[in-house]
Amino acid sequence: MNLRKHHVAAALAVLALLVIPVVFVPAVAAAEAPDLTLKAAPATIVYGDSARLTARVEVPGALLTLSRRYADAAGFTVVGTATADASGRAAWTLRPSGDVTYRAEFAGDATWAPASAEVVVGVRPRVKLRAGAVKPILEGRRITFSVAVRPLHPGGTVQLQRWSKDGWVLLKELTLNDASTARYTWRADQSGMLAVRANMQPDVDHRSGHSVPWKTEVFDPNNPYGVPSGYAHLIVVDLSQYRLYYHEHGQVVRVFDCVLGRPGLPTPRGHFRIYAKDPNIGGPYGPRRMRYLGAYAIHGTNEPWLLQRYPRNFSHGCTRLSNTNILWLYSRVPVGTRVWNVP
């Protein structure tokens, strides 16, 4: 019995040597990533304009890295760094050339885990439209439109669009040359308000973009200044043409060459009414005078040879006609008749 007890005791001693003590170690919490946001204002720009990127991070004084990736790029490229201020704010002003994704990154530190945020900035092409036409536009006149697009899109297409009751409709599709410009000549086909713009559809690099619409009124050739038909009598003096257009019920009845104000004493622009008619006035006024603004008037002349010159800026601001023409006009125009002096 004693020998058996001795063997059991020895076995227990060996087992005690083989038992490994268990040590409990408290778990260490993983570092949290700080809140990080990135915003762009505006979110969509026109090529050549700038966007303001603003990052806000929960770590004042954090160093932030800004990267970008264009639509056709495989990865991000670092474009700058900034240190967040005491409120955790950092900002960049950038001028991207196409649609781009920006990423702001915080690398982390002893307290905070890394963090990142992204924002997309859309870029529209800058589309310019010009029209080679002298206003007012008459129905049937030709208008030459010129389009320029930046950045360069050689071989790209741009649409000339015309406003209608159904919205913008296609007028002509143009192909841009190597300089990213195009031209098109079109004949105004109907009277009324005309609005035309140049529009580019979106592509892999850019959003859609359009020009500022070009607008004008297209007039019936028999009513080039859009005179309402309700006016029984109306006089239009076109200062650029040195011509007087006499209208009845919206239609041009007679056109006269005229002399206008000399430099320093220009003929006034604007809309007026004849308030007095002076018969048999004589002298520099010729046989008749019709006053519409103070001493400004439409009258004859004692210097008819001035009507043969061009440009005809010789008066003190009045509109001079030949004596034959003022006699004809005077007999048809009552007091109260409207006078439009247009550029």
C-alpha span between 320 and 57 (Å, rounded): 75
In a domain? residue 227: no
Give the model's confidence band at 45: pLDDT under 50 very low, under 70 low, under 90 confident, else very high: very high
Residue 98 lies in a domain: yes
Residue 8's pLDDT band (cuts 50, 70, 90)? very low
Residues 112 and 71 in one domain: yes
Check whether residue 206 and residue 162 sit in a common domain: yes
Q: Are residues 100 and 133 in the same domain?
A: no
143 three-class SS? strand
DSSP string, 210-264: EPPPEEEEEE-TTSTT---TT-S-EEEEETTTTEEEEEETTEEEEEEE-BEEPTT
The tens digit of pLDDT for each residue in 211-242 reads 999 998 888 887 878 888 899 999 999 999 99
Annotated active-site residue in 153, 206, 247, 318: 318
Q: Does position 138 have pLDDT exceeding 90, yes or no?
A: no
Distances in Å between the alpha carbon of 65 and those of 37, 54, 78, 109, 280? 13, 12, 7, 14, 87
**Residue that terminates a domain, selected from 187, 219, 251:** 219
Residues 106 and 192 in one domain: no
Instruction: Point out the catalytic residue in the list 153, 233, 247, 299.
Output: 299
The distance of Cα 183 from the centroid of its chain, to the nearest Å, equals 20
283 located within any domain? yes
Residue 289 tokens read as 């005078």
pTM of the model: 0.65
Cα gap 249→99, rounded to integer Å: 56
Q: Are residues 194 and 272 in the same domain?
A: no
Using an 8 Å Cβ cutoff, are 164 and 197 in contact?
A: no
Residue 293 has pLDDT above 80, yes or no: yes
DSSP E strand stretches across 10-112 = 36-41, 44-46, 51-57, 63-70, 77-83, 89-94, 100-106
User: Average pLDDT, stretch 132-160?
Assistant: 92
Q: Is residue 244 located within the same domain as residue 333?
A: yes
Contact criterion met (CB below 8 Å) for 246 and 231: no
Chain segment 19-39, per-residue pLDDT in tens: 445 444 454 456 899 999 999
Q: Average pLDDT of 184-198? A: 93
Of 69, 99, 124, the domain-final residue? 124
Is position 29 within any domain?
A: no
What was the pLDDT predicted at 172? 98
| CATH code assigned at 246 | 2.40.440.10
Peptide bond into 136 cis (omega under 30): yes
SS3 content of the chain, % helix, strand, coil (to 5): 10, 45, 45
Same domain for 331 and 242: yes
- On whether both 180 and 212 belong to a single domain, the answer is yes
* Residues 231, 247 contacting (CB under 8 angstroms): yes
Q: Is residue 334 part of a domain?
A: yes
Assigned domain for 1 exists: no
Query: Which residues are registered as beta bridge partners of 183?
Result: 146
Asked about 316 being catalytic, the answer comes back as: no
The verdict on 254 and 335 lying in the same domain is: yes
How far from chain centre, in Å, is Cα 125? 12
260 and 202 both lie in a single domain: no
Interatomic CA distance for residues 90 and 201, integer angstroms: 35
Q: What is d(CA 268, CA 261) in angstroms, rounded to the nearest whole number?
A: 9
Do 295 and 327 belong to one domain?
A: yes
In a domain, 26, yes or no: no
Whichever domain contains 110, its CATH number is 2.60.40.10
- In the three-class reduction of DSSP (H, G, I as helix; E, B as strand; rest coil), residue 9 is classed as helix
As beta bridge partners, residue 43 has none
Per-residue pLDDT of 90-120, as tens digits, reads 999 999 999 999 999 999 999 999 999 999 9
Q: Is 258 a catalytic residue?
A: no
Which of 43-47, 280-284, 308-312 has the largest mean confidence? 43-47
3 occurs within a structural domain: no
Residues 112, 175, single domain; the answer is no
Using the 3D structure, point to which of 93, 124, 155 is the last residue of a domain: 124
Please count the structural domains in the chain. Answer: 3
- The domain in which residue 190 lies consists of 126-219
